[in-house]
Homo-oligomer: A and B are copies of this chain.
Amino acid sequence: MTKPIILTGDRPTGPLHLGHYAGSLRSRLQFQDTHKQFLLLADMQALTDNAHDVGKVRSNVIEVALDYLAVGIDPEQTSICLQSRLPALAELSMLYLNLVTVARLERNPTIKDEIRARGFGRDIPAGFLCYPVAQAADITAFRATVVPVGEDQAPLIEQTNEIVRRVNALAGRPLLPEAVAIIPRAGRLPGVDGRAKMSKSAGNAIALSASPDDISAAVRAMFTDPDHLRVADPGKVEGNVVFIYLDAFDDDHDAVEELKARYRRGGLGDATVKRRLEDVLQALIAPIRTRRAELSTNRDHVVDVIRRGTLKAREITERTKRDVMAGLGLFQL
* Chain B residues whose CB sits within 8 angstroms of the CB of A12 once the complex forms: 331
Contact B134 A130 (CB under 8 A): no
CA distance A43 to B94 in the complex (A): 12
Q: Which of A136-180 contact B (CB under 8 A)?
A: 170
Option from B52, B57, B87, B123 in Cβ contact (under 8 Å) with A90: B87
Majority SS of interface residues in chain A?
Answer: helix
Which residues on B sit within 8 Å (CB–CB) of A4?
A: none
> Could you tell me if A51 and B310 are in contact, using CB atoms closer than 8 angstroms?
no
Q: Report whether A44 and B127 are in contact in the complex, using a CB–CB cutoff of 8 Å.
A: no
Q: Are A84 and B43 in contact (CB under 8 A)?
A: no
Cα(A98)–Cα(B124), bound, Å: 9
Give Cα A71 to B129, complex, Å.
43
Which residues of chain B are within 8 angstroms of A99 by Cβ–Cβ distance?
A: 51, 125, 127
Count residues of chain A with CB under 8 A from any CB of chain B: 56
**Contact between A98 and B48 (Cβ–Cβ < 8 Å)?**
yes
Question: Distance in Å from the Cβ of A97 to the closest Cβ of chain B?
Answer: 4
* Residues on A facing B (Cβ under 8 Å): 12, 41, 43-44, 47-49, 51-52, 54-55, 57-58, 61-62, 82, 84-85, 87-88, 90-91, 93-95, 97-103, 105-106, 122-130, 133-134, 170, 303, 306-307, 310, 325, 328-331, 333
